[in-house]
Amino acid sequence: MNLDLLQAIDEIRKDKGISREILIEALETALLSAYKKDFGSKDNVIVDINTDAGEVHVLSQLEVKEEAENENEEISLTEAREINPAYELGDIVEKEVTPANFGRIAAQTAKQVVMQRIREAERDVIYEQFKQKEGELINGTIQRFHNNNILIDMGKTEALLPPSEQIAAEHYEVGKRFKLYVVEVSSTSRGPRILVSRTHPSLLKRLFEIEVPEIFQGIVEIKAIAREAGQRSKMAVATSDSNVDPVGACVGPKGMRVQSVVDQLNDEKIDIVKWDEDPAVFVANALNPAEVIDVTINNAEKIAEVVVPDFQLSLAIGKEGQNARLAAKLTGWKVDIRKESETISKED
């Protein structure tokens, strides 16, 4: 080995983002493997690379014994002290056993092992980079389709957008770019597996954190989200600052903030409601835009019995029950909606 190889390692380090120490360690491991393979040695040897001089040394490690019974692993005290009088029993003597033509013979074998380690290290670097982004938003571009899965170009790797995380009504085509929520990053033998989503409720949360400074600053808090991706979502917000309207902050001037999020979610309808620690008030708010006359809470069965004007019943329930269903998800209460006339008739 020479300085040219060390220079090549530095170029790989810069290009791949892999530390010099990892590359040197990989090279030492590769050369040790090559030595044992090509010279049939099972000695207790190590490979040491002098990174300043670009020199490689193969060293046999021998334990100092009174008498050496295994010359591949031991050295007698007498012989050890001929090397250095300071050696004592139990010390380790490193004896150079580098073959004269070792560099030429080992180079080809070492190259393959080193490149494999470089690929592994590169995968590790990518994994660590994206593991830190778990639970965050990333930008990605559709690269290709595989069966019903969509593979997203992330630069140095791909992310997987499976059918379960795709918005049903959203149009996907190669080259389209959008924001995705990183659900999970796991390590596999083929490299990092990055699972991303367009349907996850937290995608909505992260988008509002970008659009609404009060959320990012912690002035307004998102307390709960219920979402049927691509169709409709409900988000409950609150604040401890009496001077701030949490709903108004999220809607923004002329609805610009909420509209920006809607535009990024295939025109998904978003209801923003005020959270309240009183479950009756919270349930009433959650049924927005329907008007609510009364809410009775059944704590034992976790049911909220809601009374609405007769003409508001269909609005409260929503198309195919969607409004009531999302309100139940948002609040955590089973919502039982009745029209006012039924309540009056029962009282009579």
**46-93 residue pLDDT tens:** 888 777 776 778 888 889 999 988 887 888 999 889 988 999 999 999
> Is the pLDDT score of 96 beyond 90?
no
Q: 93, 61 in Cβ contact below 8 A?
A: yes
- Average pLDDT of the residues in 186-208: 92
Other beta carbons less than 10 A from residue 85's beta carbon? 7
Interval 269-283 mean pLDDT: 96
pLDDT tens-place string over residues 129-181: 889 999 999 999 999 999 899 999 988 889 999 999 999 889 999 999 999 99
Structure confidence at residue 181 (pLDDT): 96
Q: How many CB atoms lie within 10 A of CB 224?
A: 18
**Global confidence as pTM:** 0.70
Task: For residues 242-270, give the mean pLDDT.
Answer: 94
Going along the chain from its start, the domains and CATH numbers come out as: 3-125 (3.30.1480.10), 135-197 (2.40.50.140), 277-348 (3.30.300.20)
Confidence of residue 6 (pLDDT cuts 50, 70, 90): low
Name the one residue in this structure whose structure tokens are 């009745």: 338
Distance CA 73, CA 63 (A): 6
Cis check for the bond before 289: say yes or no (omega within 30 of 0): yes
